[in-house]
Amino acid sequence: MSPPVALISGITGQTGAYLAHRLLQKGHKVVGGTRDASSSDRSRLKRLGVDGDLELLSLAPADFRSVIQCVRKVRPDQIYYLAGQTSVGLSFEQPFESIESIAVGTLNLLEAIRLLGEDIRFFSAGSSECFGNSLVFPLTEESPMRPVSPYAVAKCAAFWSTVNYRQAYGLFACTGILSNHESPLRPDRFVTRKIISSLRSIQAGDADKLTLGNLDIWRDWGWAPDYVEAIDLIMSADNADDYLIASGHTHSLREFLSIACRLAGLDEDQIISSDPGLYRPSELNTIELDPSKIRQQLGWSSTLPFETMVERLYHEELF
């Protein structure tokens, strides 16, 4: 019996690389879709030791012809859509790119599956940013979505497209509504990696200050390898459904800073400053998430304590 074939769009990113690692360990054949296979950044795949164990193909998710040609060629059993713009901050500068890469890319893959009529399971990477500044906590899969960024608007559109294709056409199509999930594979434009990288520069004498935007934000932060396990469980379930993937614990950015500065042996009061010029036009200030559904139905929970996660980020531990 041939192994399951997984097509991962966005395989060169943090979550895509960890997912490829997990699926390869399970015996899957993994094919990665990236905008230009000949010049893609394979550094994360190499760090996880899987670069030579998979195939990369060029795939432009916003181009339906590219999508359907790729799906026809690969004939996957599973498709994971992890591509598209990943930065909330950047989405304010490039709102069209945000909508096109996330919402249109999701729709194109769903439509390709529908038209081809194949038994293909589909996973869409959603975001807890969709909930916006909600008035009632904790948030669940049934909570209203009030997006406050172009990124979140796009993720909402992708979420409801996935629901619609599941209900209207009977596709096995799911969304994992992911909270912030971190690892050393994050790019430096993400605040957690910016903090760690900047502290190392200060330690080395290459910088003397770390300037950030709004320090008074609260998030549910988790460990990316754990969240990839949740994605796998969602796609292996008997029935398609949407699940919130989160730790269920909220922490402030100031708390993250304090732990990281302690690990670096630096006085946060001496090196940290906040610049209002770095604030986003609109900001999700706080969030409290309740991942009871995935724990009760699929047996998954995030067990890594917040402080341990920060320590692993600081020490560049991949797992």
Catalytic residues: 127, 129, 151
Please state, in angstroms and rounded to a whole number, the distance separating the CA atoms of residues 182 and 222. Answer: 6
**What does the block give as tokens for 81?**
């859509």
Nearest to 299 by CA among 236, 208, 217: 236
Please state, in angstroms and rounded to a whole number, the distance separating the CA atoms of residues 179 and 129. Answer: 8
Q: Which residues of 209-218 are buried (b: 16+ CB within 10 A; e: fewer)?
A: ebebbeeebb
Q: Are 289 and 249 in contact (CB under 8 A)?
A: no
Count of residues in the chain: 319
Kind of pairing between the strands at 78-81 and 121-127: parallel
The contacts of residue 258 (CB under 8 Å, 6+ apart) are: 268
Q: Is 195 exposed, middle or buried (0-12, 13-18, 19+ CB in 10 A)?
A: buried
Please state, in angstroms and rounded to a whole number, the distance separating the CA atoms of residues 244 and 126. Answer: 9
- Look up tokens 């760690």; give the residue: 196
DSSP letter assigned to residue 299: -
The contacts of residue 253 (CB under 8 Å, 6+ apart) are: 191, 212, 214, 215, 216, 217, 218, 219
